[in-house]
Amino acid sequence: MAEEIMQTILDRDPNEREFHQAVGEVVESVKPVLDQNPVYRKLRILERLVEPERVILFRVPWMDDRGEVNVNRGYRVEMSSAIGPYKGGLRFHPSVTLSILKFLAFEQVFKNALTTLPMGGGKGGSDFDPKGKSDNEVMRFCQSFMSELFRHIGSNTDVPAGDIGVGAREIGFLFGMYKKLRNEFTGVLTGKSLNWGGSLIRPEATGYGSVYFAAEMLATRNETLEGKTCLVSGSGNVAQFTAEKLIELGAKVVTLSDSSGCIYDEAGIDAKKLAYVKLLKNVRRGRMEEYADKYPDAVYTPVDPSLDFNPLWNHKGDCAFPSATQNEINAVDAKHLVENGVTLVCEGANMPTVPDGIDLFLDSGILYGPGKAANAGGVSVSGLEMTQNSMRLSWTREEVDNRLKMIMKSIHHTCLDAAEQYGFPGNYLHGANIAGFVKVVDSMIDQGLV
């Protein structure tokens, strides 16, 4: 049946490479679950799960500062509402396609199920590139995007958030337009600013959560992060707060990157240097290259398309935190990481490691935390933001952070328990896929053929 499903999606949408990759991974994990539960086969659960409940595709026309008209494509993939309203981020990046959003929405379904909170899965976005655009251009784009999206979302229907290219600025413009069109102030987006309904710790949540998950994995080997050398990729939201928590716990962060290149700072990126990175990326919207101008002991390596590997992953280290984008660790990078002594890989990004790389990590006994478990802290605190909005109150930083820690601990246990139960002891990847799958499909069965 697993093979049939893969053939069906390959025949139906032959060009959706990223989606095939994400489905293939889950299908592989849940084979023993299907064998032990014939009812899932009889009710064609997998066939239903791989087809989005709804896909919305729309035109986004907007005017740039020169007065010229531009047209982008907008999407929302509403994948599954089995356990709650659709929930998942919006990505604005030129590489966005339906395949990428379907893979992200599919992953989101299982991730959200692991969080213990009542959230279904979705994802959306546009091929719009915010890089190099003025604030006014970004605002006009967001307003145009929302002028269509607003009729499909709502606090009990579909609750988008941020992702690559969608941070506090974009969420603000999107929320403002939604509020105007609907004439209501609701928690329809998460990742809002604190003054108007946001949650403390939401900006930090994905990065902090990833580090909490890594600490739980290390604890199974009686180790901690203190003194560990860590390779972190990206320099956006997830990378910044992953680095912040690692520094706080006594680890040494030696790398960061953006899509133009990476920096290696052997002495370690300390809190002061990280504050500079935040200013550079969040306020000045500059490039990582400038880090090496500011701190000349650091080495900047620009992206070289002729290389078949990313130099960032070719440094000595103990732990790796890929926190930029999908498939950023290829098979050669994975080999470099193993050769350089890395013993833990914790995915802040979604699907950052290619399947051959994952196999190598698992075969080499590396502690491997898959994105759908390790980066679930972001959507978890989004869920807590929804709860606070419904109750019309705000929890303290400590309260949200403690809940985040508890959720990451619980996800860690859930993965290990499910993996053990189905014969994959210590395998977080199979554990995450199986635990998320069982919760979602049992809910689908309870709700009948809809």
Residues that bind ligand NDP (CB under 6 A): 162-165, 167, 206, 234-239, 258-260, 323-325, 348-350, 375, 378
Taking the least distance from each CB to ligand NDP, the nearer of 45 and 379 is 379
**CA 125 to chain CA centroid, nearest Å:** 14
> Which residue of this chain has its Cβ atom nearest to ligand NDP in the complex?
236
Torsion over CA: 31, 33, 39, 40 (sign): negative
For 164: left if phi > 0, alpha if psi spans -120 to 50, otherwise beta; the answer is beta
Tokens of 236: 């956006």
| H or E element at residue 387 | helix 377-391
CA distances to 38, 113, 258, 422 from 126, in Å: 40, 25, 20, 39
Q: Which residues contact 162 (CB under 8 A, 6 or more apart)?
A: 89, 90, 168, 170, 171, 191, 237
Q: Locate the DSSP E strands across 36-126.
A: 54-63, 69-80, 86-92, 121-126
**CA 246 to chain CA centroid, nearest Å:** 18
CB of 135 to ligand NDP, least distance (A): 16
Annotated active-site positions, please? 123
| H or E element at residue 230 | strand 229-232
CB of 341 to ligand NDP, least distance (A): 24
CB of 150 to ligand NDP, least distance (A): 22
CB of 286 to ligand NDP, least distance (A): 10
Taking the least distance from each CB to ligand NDP, the nearer of 111 and 430 is 111
Angstrom distance (rounded) from CA 150 to CA 93: 20
CB of 282 to ligand NDP, least distance (A): 9
Angstrom distance (rounded) from CA 191 to CA 349: 17
Q: Which residues contact 232 (CB under 8 A, 6 or more apart)?
A: 239, 242, 243, 246, 253, 255, 256, 320, 321, 323
**CA 189 to chain CA centroid, nearest Å:** 16
CB of 39 to ligand NDP, least distance (A): 32
Taking the least distance from each CB to ligand NDP, the nearer of 93 and 439 is 93
Angstrom distance (rounded) from CA 104 to CA 98: 10
Q: What secondary structure does DSSP assign to 241-274, as a single string?
A: HHHHHHHHTT-EEEEEEETTEEEE-TT---HHHH
- By the 10 Å C-beta count (0-12 exposed, 13-18 middle, 19+ buried), 376 is classed as buried
Taking the least distance from each CB to ligand NDP, the nearer of 30 and 171 is 171
CB of 301 to ligand NDP, least distance (A): 13
Taking the least distance from each CB to ligand NDP, the nearer of 167 and 172 is 167
Would you say 436 and 398 are in contact if contact means Cβ atoms under 8 Å apart? no
CB of 220 to ligand NDP, least distance (A): 23
In the chain, what is the greatest distance between 2 CA atoms, to the nearest angstrom? 63
Q: Which residues contact 266 (CB under 8 A, 6 or more apart)?
A: 254, 297, 298
Would you say 218 and 412 are in contact if contact means Cβ atoms under 8 Å apart? no
